[in-house]
Amino acid sequence: MLDLTLGGGISDTLSQAVELSRALLQAEYAAVAIWDGAGEPVEFATAGVSAEARSALGAPPTGHGLLGEVARAGRTLRLPSGAAHPAATPLPPGHPPVTNFLGVPIPHLGDWRGAFYLTGRRVGSEFTEQDEEMGAVIAAHVAAVIQLHRLVLHEREDQRSLISMLVEISDAHEHATEEHSQRVSAYARRIAAELGAPDLDLETVDDGALLHDVGKLGVPDSILKKPGSLTADERVIMMAHSQIGAEIVAGARLLSPLAPVIRQHHERWDGGGYPDRLRGAAIPLAARVVAVADTLDAMTTDRPYRAARPLSEALEELRRCSGTHFDPGVVKAALKAFRPGGEDPLPMAVAPRSPSPWPNSTARCRRQPGGCTRGWDRSSAP
């Protein structure tokens, strides 16, 4: 029957529904249309016509004609071969001839409406009352799946607006890293796409990256905007941002799945990160991707305490820290995603501004025994 996993979207559901109804009710041709509350077509699917004929059919039906009448009236309409109906309109080019007709409304769509119809009963007989009943069962099934899809879509919209609001508040709070979250999100998306891990949800990466530093809302301005080095105590407060951020989103049902990404975005592959000192694959993959994207942006943009570094140096630094600070697989994907001369340049400029106001500031980054430097970001793991 119909796909209830919601994997394919409304158009897939409707395509399956018309194919199914055409096969079960032995019709030559079937079509389904859904309109929104303003009467605009949402989806239109057909079965039993060639791709050429389908493209000749062009735009979805307007909501008039026999199909529109069935949807408007909310009643099944069954016409024998050759019967006329006052709502019938001329067929568009490419439409198969309508002989007998069975139109079935799709119920319970709220402000939307929809219907499907079949024509060209193949076995030499007309559509029957039993066919009407079967059509109603299919329509009820389609309605349930569409409603589930709409629920998911609404939730996603609500989730997006919550994220946008939090990002705006964060950016307003910390002007120094304005647009940092958008860049990290753009980089994380590219790395995740290159990684191609089947168990990695791209929306989680995207949203987690956008909100990864939302916990800095809980860090006092005196620390967040301090131009010089942080004291040990100040650094502890700064490092609390990953936990604070996870707590902020954990309180919102639509955002709570992002909490692990936010909490763990400063963990290190070798277990030397914070707050939980997770190691290797125990760190959520989305958090490992965000960690690399975050560092890439931190290194390639000016900060109040040091100047930006060129992309080539930043990538070399990722390579040096592969297997210690970062997941080697994620670094490999990042190096491929941002390789020089690649098809798609970085989505936002990362070249250091010139002349830099901090000509010697990269000296703040000290080499560690593992080969990594430190000081990409004052909140990065030591």
Under the rule (CB under 5 A), what is the footprint of Fe ion?
Answer: 213, 294, 379
List the structure tokens of 84. 């006329």
Is-contact 67 33, C-beta < 8 A? yes
Q: How far is the CB of 377 from Fe ion (least distance, A)?
A: 6
From 59, 41, 52, 122, select the one nearest 94 (Cα to Cα): 52
C-beta closer to Fe ion: residue 170 or 379: 379
Q: How far is the CB of 234 from Fe ion (least distance, A)?
A: 15
C-beta closer to Fe ion: residue 131 or 294: 294
Q: How far is the CB of 241 from Fe ion (least distance, A)?
A: 6
List the structure tokens of 145. 């799946």
Whole-angstrom distance, CA of residue 235 vs CA of residue 98: 75
Alpha-carbon distance values, 364 to 73, 340, 352 (Å): 74, 27, 17
Is-contact 378 238, C-beta < 8 A? yes
Q: How far is the CB of 204 from Fe ion (least distance, A)?
A: 17
Q: How far is the CB of 251 from Fe ion (least distance, A)?
A: 19
C-beta closer to Fe ion: residue 43 or 267: 267
Q: How far is the CB of 267 from Fe ion (least distance, A)?
A: 11
Q: How far is the CB of 181 from Fe ion (least distance, A)?
A: 7
From 161, 146, 66, 133, select the one nearest 106 (Cα to Cα): 146
C-beta closer to Fe ion: residue 69 or 294: 294
From 312, 307, 323, 333, select the one nearest 372 (Cα to Cα): 323
C-beta closer to Fe ion: residue 43 or 213: 213
From 291, 282, 264, 342, select the one nearest 184 (Cα to Cα): 291
Sheet of strand 101-105, all strands in order from the earlier edge strand to the far edge? 41-47, 29-35, 113-119, 101-105, 77-79
From 80, 85, 81, 94, select the one nearest 66 (Cα to Cα): 85
C-beta closer to Fe ion: residue 138 or 290: 290
Q: How far is the CB of 265 from Fe ion (least distance, A)?
A: 6
C-beta closer to Fe ion: residue 98 or 184: 184
Element (H, E) at 224: helix 221-224
Sign of the alpha-carbon torsion through 37, 42, 45, 51:
positive
C-beta closer to Fe ion: residue 143 or 211: 211
Is-contact 261 289, C-beta < 8 A? no
Q: How far is the CB of 257 from Fe ion (least distance, A)?
A: 19
Query: What is the three-class DSSP state of 347?
Result: coil
C-beta closer to Fe ion: residue 28 or 213: 213
Cβ neighbours of residue 301 closer than 8 Å, sequence gap 6 or more: 180, 183, 308, 350
- 342: number of Cβ within 10 Å: 12
Name the amino acid, one letter, at 370: G
